[in-house]
């Protein structure tokens, strides 16, 4: 365990972050043109402003030809955009004989670890690496039972890209039976259904509360990641064994759906 943590230290300098993006609404919308009897009016045109007093595109009422009015100012519904920071790797540890990877391999990195008190994040749909790599983020952290159900993923495009997906249940003390998948184009997808653990640790230390509706920050560890349809030689001379590698990822998700 200590050897694996030490081997990953240089890889996991950063935490996975999914922040909450905001955007200003447009200006007051232009009224939609009224429809003729039995018809639907054409959509109005939303305005643009920098002070948040935006409008909402609306449709004229059909049947009477009456005009609908422009929407009230404010931020558009659904305007929140999640951000992400990821530092995840896969390699051999307890299952070294069954892991096809020769060493610890970084699988996905999003954002940067120099931010304080949180790492630097990248918005869903934005780019990193001087605009050459697209980033995709989605997540929900919703209240359920004694804690929260988590569904979160972050990925980057391209040959050097990768992805991390986490699903399961946590409470204020962490989680003991989550599922996860780690993907990297050169090495494939390694996944584990159940048995992964989440702890609320990291560098920097997660800000309390580490988990709340729409928010989770910590570390996930999986010690039985398998690659589908692949096997590794059995050191005892028996039948080939299913692949089994170990994965570790630091993460922070914020602004998630609830």
What are the pLDDT digits (tens) for 117-163?
Answer: 888 888 899 999 889 999 999 999 999 999 999 999 999 998 789 99
Q: What is the mean pLDDT of residues 20-27?
A: 35
Look at the block and give the residue holding tokens 């999914």.
Answer: 18
At 53, give phi and psi (nearest 5°). Answer: -90, 50
Q: Which residue has the higher pLDDT, 229 or 252?
A: 252
Mean of pLDDT over the chain: 73
Q: What is the mean pLDDT of residues 70-84?
A: 57
Q: What is the pLDDT of residue 42?
A: 43
- For residue 53, how far is the Cα from the chain centroid? 30
Q: What is the pLDDT of residue 236?
A: 57
Q: What is the mean pLDDT of residues 13-22?
A: 35
Q: Which residue has the higher pLDDT, 219 or 229?
A: 219
Helix (H, G, I), strand (E, B) or coil at 59: strand
In sequence order, what E strands does the chain have? 20-21, 81-84, 86-91, 105-110, 122-123, 127-128, 133-144, 147-156, 162-170, 175-184, 188-199, 211-212, 215-227, 231-232, 241-242, 245-253
Q: What is the pLDDT of residue 95?
A: 62
Percent of the chain with pLDDT over 90: 43
**Distance of alpha carbon 23 from alpha carbon 44, whole angstroms:** 21
In the predicted structure, residue 167 carries a pLDDT above the cut 70: yes
Q: What is the pLDDT of residue 84?
A: 80
What are the Cα distances from residue 253, in Å, to 23, 86, 185, 218?
19, 10, 24, 9
Q: Which of 121, 126, 109, 84 lies closest to 161 in space, CA to CA?
A: 109
**Distance of alpha carbon 149 from alpha carbon 142, whole angstroms:** 5
Helix (H) or strand (E) holding 6: helix 2-8
Helix (H, G, I), strand (E, B) or coil at 89: strand
In the predicted structure, residue 202 carries a pLDDT above the cut 80: yes
Q: What is the pLDDT of residue 80?
A: 84
Q: Which of 50, 65, 53, 63 lies closest to 29 in space, CA to CA?
A: 53
From 41-55, 80-94, 233-247, the region with the lowest mean pLDDT: 41-55
């Amino acid at each position: 365990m200590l050897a694996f943590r030490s081997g990953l230290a240089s890889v996991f300098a950063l935490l996975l972050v999914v922040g909450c993006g905001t955007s200003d609404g447009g200006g007051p919308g232009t009224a939609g043109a009224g429809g003729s009897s039995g018809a639907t009016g054409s959509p109005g045109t939303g305005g643009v402003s920098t002070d948040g007093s935006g409008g909402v595109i609306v449709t004229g009422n059909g049947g009477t030809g009456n005009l609908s009015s422009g929407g009230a100012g404010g931020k558009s519904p659904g305007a929140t955009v999640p951000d992400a920071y990821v530092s995840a790797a896969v390699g051999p540890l307890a299952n070294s004989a069954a892991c096809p990877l020769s060493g610890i391999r970084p699988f996905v990195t999003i954002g940067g670890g120099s931010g304080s008190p949180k790492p630097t994040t990248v918005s869903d749909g934005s780019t990193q690496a001087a605009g050459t790599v697209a980033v995709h983020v989605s997540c929900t952290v919703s209240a359920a039972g004694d804690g929260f159900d988590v569904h979160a993923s972050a990925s980057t495009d391209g040959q050097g890209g990768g992805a991390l997906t986490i699903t399961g249940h946590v409470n204020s003390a962490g989680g003991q039976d989550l599922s996860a998948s780690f993907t990297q184009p050169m090495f494939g997808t390694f996944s584990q259904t159940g048995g992964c653990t989440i702890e609320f640790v990291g560098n920097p230390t997660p800000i309390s509360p580490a988990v709340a509706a729409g928010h989770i920050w910590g570390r996930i560890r999986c010690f039985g990641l398998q690659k589908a349809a692949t096997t590794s030689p059995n050191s005892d001379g028996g039948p080939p064994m299913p692949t089994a590698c170990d994965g570790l990822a630091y993460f922070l998700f914020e602004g998630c759906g609830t």
